[in-house]
Amino acid sequence: MTTISPTYVRTRWFSLVNLLFLSVIMFSLYKSFSQIFLRQEHRKNYISFENLAFLFLVYVNVLIGFSLVYTIFEMKGIPVLVEGGSILTGGFLEILSSSLYFSAITLLSVGYGDITPIGIGRWFAVLEALIGYIIPAAFVVRSMVDFEQRPN
């Protein structure tokens, strides 16, 4: 008779929960980014407080989403970030704060170089940087299209 160890069950359950959590994060990033391209009728001018607030919330959502992806990988034991030549260590809050910082400097194209991605983290960083470049352009295009299509 084969028995399954409790450690295996916990590890398998943890992997499924992480996969679900990553899926929810990626879905929310997709929905946040796709909202830029949806037309809304109530816009009256090029730039409004509502547009700027929306842009800020999109940036915050993308920043938090990617930092949670980095944190999940780090907590799972898959190193994706290196700080000062060594892999990130510490508890959840230390890793989360480093991930938030790295996500912010990557998304906003600052890139100081004190924390660098490795392994699969490089691809996530490339995707995040690409999104950081596309968001303002998409926002400007959307504002112009909305302005052009509004009734006079």
28-31, Cβ contacts within 8 angstroms, sequence gap of 24 or more:
28/61, 28/65, 29/61, 29/62, 29/65, 29/66, 29/131
Q: What is the pLDDT of residues 125-139, one digit of tens each?
A: 999 999 999 888 888
Residue ranges of domains in the chain, CATH in brackets = 25-36+44-149 (1.10.287.70)
Q: Is the pLDDT of residue 57 over 60?
A: yes
Q: Which amino acid is at 14?
A: F
Token pair for 121: 């983290």
In order of 28, 51, 96, the CA distances from 68 in angstroms are: 12, 26, 7
Q: What is the pLDDT of residue 27?
A: 78
Task: Please state whether the predicted TM-score (pTM) of the whole model is above 0.75.
Answer: no
| SS3 state at 89 | coil
Q: Is the pLDDT of residue 36 over 90?
A: no
| SS3 state at 18 | helix
Q: What is the dihedral of CA 29, 35, 37, 42, to 10 degrees?
A: -160
More confident residue, 73 or 25: 73
Handedness of CA 59, 64, 66, 70 (dihedral sign): positive
Q: What is the pLDDT of residue 53?
A: 80
Cα separation, 3 vs 27, in Å, equals 37
- CA-nearest of 124, 137, 128, 130 to 61 is 128
Confidence of residue 63 (pLDDT cuts 50, 70, 90): very high
Q: Is the pLDDT of residue 23 over 50?
A: yes
Confidence of residue 117 (pLDDT cuts 50, 70, 90): very high
Q: What is the pLDDT of residue 137?
A: 85
Instruction: Calculate mean pLDDT across residues 53-64.
Output: 87
More confident residue, 90 or 45: 90
Q: What is the pLDDT of residue 9?
A: 47
